[in-house]
């Protein structure tokens, strides 16, 4: 492996990062809202709504994402006259929008199940206490249910975001030049797969690492009750200054 070639490859691949981030950000943001909606539908009291949500989840989790992308991008092309007539063709003509739509629909199914787990883990007494305070349903959701559910769901949700980062690579098959698309181009031009793989893998791992850290920070922020008392931590570390200051302050009193 020669280093100058690696540097070239790395710089070339970096130019695909914005598109990857764009795809991930748009589809996870949309998937979060739709997923929350789906979670509510899945827990609805109407059997028809529940059945719809269950079918949606079964279909989108049970088929490969690549099939979903092909179905939207190539499959809907079969109906392009109809789509033109109703004025939606500009959307389904673009691989960018098709990829985002497929990624969003796919992550919605997974996110819905994650959120449902989170929402169902909120202890009922907390909801009762909120009601006893006279909170409206919306305030109860915003202040009590959602923060607790989010905290419960975060570890699983961070996994889902990482899966999404990996999933955006499939957009390269419908001609999107994100990291994997550029990597494929470089490999098929030079046949130096190992060097290109190492560079692309490094970029993906950095992205994954950053996401994991951000979510961990969010989790820490949402769970103040689990944080250790800083003084207690100091004592556990055997910090003599702490002990000394304690002694001094108690002596001073």
Partner 1 sequence: MTIFELIGFGPNGWGLAMLLATAMTIALALCGFSIGCVIGVAVARAKLSKSRLAVVMADFYTTVLRGVPDLLVIYLFYFGLSQFLSGTVTFWCADGGFLLGLLQPSAITPGLCGSRGFIELPRFLIGSLALGVVSGAYQAEVFRGAYGVLSRGQIEAAKAVGMSPFLMFRRIIAPQVLGYAIPGLANVWQLTLKESALVSVIGLVEILRQSQIAANSTFKPFYFYVVAGSLYLAITAVSTYGFSRVEQHSLRGIRRA
Q: Which stretch binds partner 1 (CB under 8 A): 84-92, 123-131, 204-212, 218-226?
A: 204-212
Find out whether 102 and 72 touch, Cβ atoms under 8 Å: yes
Q: Does 50 bind partner 1 (CB under 8 A)?
A: no
Residues 6 or more apart whose CB falls under 8 angstroms from that of 20 comprise: 165, 168, 178, 179, 207
Written as six digits, the tokens of 76 are 């809907």
Q: Does 24 bind partner 1 (CB under 8 A)?
A: no
Q: Does 184 bind partner 1 (CB under 8 A)?
A: yes
Q: Does 210 bind partner 1 (CB under 8 A)?
A: no
Q: Give the gyration radius of the chain's Cα atoms.
A: 24
Q: Which is nearer to partner 1, 7 or 163 (CB)?
A: 163
Q: Which is nearer to partner 1, 150 or 173 (CB)?
A: 173
CA dist., res. 61 & res. 74, Å (int): 20
Q: Does 66 bind partner 1 (CB under 8 A)?
A: yes
Q: Does 62 bind partner 1 (CB under 8 A)?
A: yes
CA dist., res. 190 & res. 197, Å (int): 12
Greatest Cα-to-Cα distance within the chain, rounded to the nearest angstrom: 87
**191-228 as b/e, with b when 16 or more CB fall inside 10 Å?**
eeeebbeebbeebbeebeeebeeebeeebeeeeeeeee
Helices (H), 3-46: 3-14, 17-42
Backbone φ and ψ for 223, nearest 5 degrees, come out as -125, 70
Instruction: Determine which residue in the list 22, 166, 215, 219 makes contact with partner 1, applying CB under 8 A.
Output: 166
What is the torsional sign of CA 170, 175, 177, 183? positive
Q: Does 81 bind partner 1 (CB under 8 A)?
A: no
Instruction: Determine which residue in the list 201, 243, 247, 248 makes contact with partner 1, applying CB under 8 A.
Output: 201
Instruction: Determine which residue in the list 11, 33, 205, 248 makes contact with partner 1, applying CB under 8 A.
Output: 205
Beta carbon of residue 180, minimum distance to partner 1 (angstroms, whole number) = 6
Q: Does 86 bind partner 1 (CB under 8 A)?
A: no
Q: Which is nearer to partner 1, 62 or 252 (CB)?
A: 62
Q: Which is nearer to partner 1, 53 or 162 (CB)?
A: 162
Q: Does 208 bind partner 1 (CB under 8 A)?
A: yes
Written as six digits, the tokens of 29 are 């943001």
Interaction site with partner 1 (CB under 8 A): 58-59, 62-68, 70-71, 74-79, 162, 165-170, 172-173, 180, 183-184, 187-188, 191-194, 197, 200-201, 204-205, 208
């Amino acid at each position: 492996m020669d280093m100058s070639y690696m540097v070239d490859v790395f710089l070339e691949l970096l130019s695909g990062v914005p598109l990857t981030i764009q795809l991930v950000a748009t589809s996870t943001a949309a998937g979060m809202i739709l997923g929350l909606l789906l979670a509510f539908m899945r827990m609805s009291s109407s059997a028809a709504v529940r059945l719809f949500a269950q079918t949606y989840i079964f279909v989108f989790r049970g088929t490969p994402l690549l099939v979903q992308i092909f179905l939207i991008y190539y499959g809907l092309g079969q109906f392009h006259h109809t789509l033109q007539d109703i004025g939606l063709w500009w959307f389904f003509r673009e691989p960018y929008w098709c990829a985002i739509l497929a990624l969003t629909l796919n992550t919605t199914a997974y996110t819905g199940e994650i959120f449902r787990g989170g929402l169902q883990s909120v202890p009922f007494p907390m909801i009762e206490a909120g009601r006893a305070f006279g909170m409206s349903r919306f305030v109860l959701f915003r202040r009590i249910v959602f923060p607790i559910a989010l905290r419960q769901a975060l570890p699983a949700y961070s996994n889902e975001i990482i899966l999404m980062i990996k999933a955006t690579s499939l957009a390269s098959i419908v001609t999107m030049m994100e990291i994997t698309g550029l990597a494929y181009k470089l490999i098929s031009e030079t046949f130096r797969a190992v060097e290109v793989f190492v560079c692309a893998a490094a970029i993906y791992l950095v992205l994954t690492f950053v996401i994991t850290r951000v979510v961990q920070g969010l989790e820490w922020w949402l769970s103040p009750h689990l944080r250790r008392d800083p003084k207690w931590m100091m004592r556990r570390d055997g910090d003599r200054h702490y002990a000394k200051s304690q002694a001094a302050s108690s002596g001073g009193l």
